[in-house]
């Protein structure tokens, strides 16, 4: 299975080099970037039993003109609900895998969401947005896949306006699920201020303010 993490593409780890080509999809999922070929799994209607897009959107400080960056939207499970709630705003989707963005675009076009932009890029590199461009940045089951979360969070801090919100949702059975205590440590280390948590340790949303 192809790996998309820059950590693996630029300097493959020992494990990656010795892995047989027939390595299972499960091992690919466990080690990094969630493969776009399995987007059907995260789009499964049963996921609504864990977290509904409407529930997550209710937890976010949205106004009709909010400017949102959704980092790692995958095939857009949450994106349509976000776009729908900001008719006079803008939703930018940034994902490492162009194939995921293509799926998200198909879904949002079908729903006639015209307030959405798409960018294929690595969140651990330079983000293609102006400073203080967003009111809200959202990451759902993404942070555990990042090769360098510190660098990514520093970049997110640059593109969030002062007083803006960084919202992170994590849940099992995502194999990269980051627990609340660890998440809080990683995010606060980059200067964000913890605001609020909804839900339990294995299925929660946490919000942080950019000072």
Q: What residues line the site for ligand SAM (CB under 6 A)?
A: 33-34, 42, 72-74, 77, 94-97, 100, 122-124, 140-142, 145-146, 174
Nearer to ligand SAM by Cβ, of 86 and 123: the residue is 123
Nearer to ligand SAM by Cβ, of 1 and 211: the residue is 1
Residues 152, 190: contact at Cβ < 8 Å? no
Q: How far is the CB of 20 from ligand SAM (least distance, A)?
A: 24
Q: How far is the CB of 146 from ligand SAM (least distance, A)?
A: 5
First vs last C-alpha separation in the chain: 41
Please give the angle made by the CA atoms of 6, 204 and 91, to the nearest 5 degrees.
Answer: 60
Rounded CA separation 126/161 (Å): 17
Residue 208 pairs with which residues in a beta bridge? 166, 194
Q: Is the peptide bond before 77 cis (omega within 30 degrees of 0)?
A: no
Nearer to ligand SAM by Cβ, of 12 and 211: the residue is 12
Give the closest residue to 156 by CA, choosing from 197, 121, 200.
Answer: 121
Rounded CA separation 109/173 (Å): 29
Q: How far is the CB of 196 from ligand SAM (least distance, A)?
A: 20
Give the closest residue to 66 by CA, choosing from 86, 80, 83.
Answer: 86
Cα-Cα-Cα-Cα dihedral of 174, 177, 179, 185, to 10°?
Answer: -160
| 95: number of Cβ within 10 Å | 28
Q: How far is the CB of 37 from ligand SAM (least distance, A)?
A: 11
Q: How far is the CB of 171 from ligand SAM (least distance, A)?
A: 9
| 183: number of Cβ within 10 Å | 22
Nearer to ligand SAM by Cβ, of 46 and 88: the residue is 46
Q: How far is the CB of 160 from ligand SAM (least distance, A)?
A: 16
């Amino acid at each position: 299975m192809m790996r998309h993490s820059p950590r693996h593409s630029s300097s493959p780890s020992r494990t990656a080099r010795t892995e047989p080509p027939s390595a299972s999809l499960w091992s690919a999922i466990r080690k990094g970037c969630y493969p776009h070929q399995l987007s059907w799994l995260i789009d499964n209607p049963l996921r609504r039993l864990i977290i509904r897009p409407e529930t997550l959107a209710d937890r976010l400080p949205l106004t009709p003109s909010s400017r949102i960056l959704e980092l790692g939207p995958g095939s857009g499970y949450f994106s349509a609900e976000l776009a729908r709630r900001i008719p006079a705003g803008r939703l930018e989707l940034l994902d490492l895998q162009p194939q995921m963005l293509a799926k998200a675009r198909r879904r949002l076009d079908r729903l006639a969401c015209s307030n959405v932009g798409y960018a294929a890029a690595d969140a651990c590199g330079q983000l293609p947005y102006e400073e203080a461009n967003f009111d809200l940045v959202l990451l759902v089951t993404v942070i555990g896949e990042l090769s360098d979360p510190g660098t990514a969070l520093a970049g997110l801090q640059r593109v969030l306006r002062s007083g803006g919100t960084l919202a992170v949702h994590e849940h099992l059975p995502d194999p990269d699920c980051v627990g609340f205590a660890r998440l809080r440590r990683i995010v606060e280390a980059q200067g964000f201020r913890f605001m609020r948590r909804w839900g339990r340790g294995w299925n929660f949303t946490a919000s942080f303010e950019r000072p």
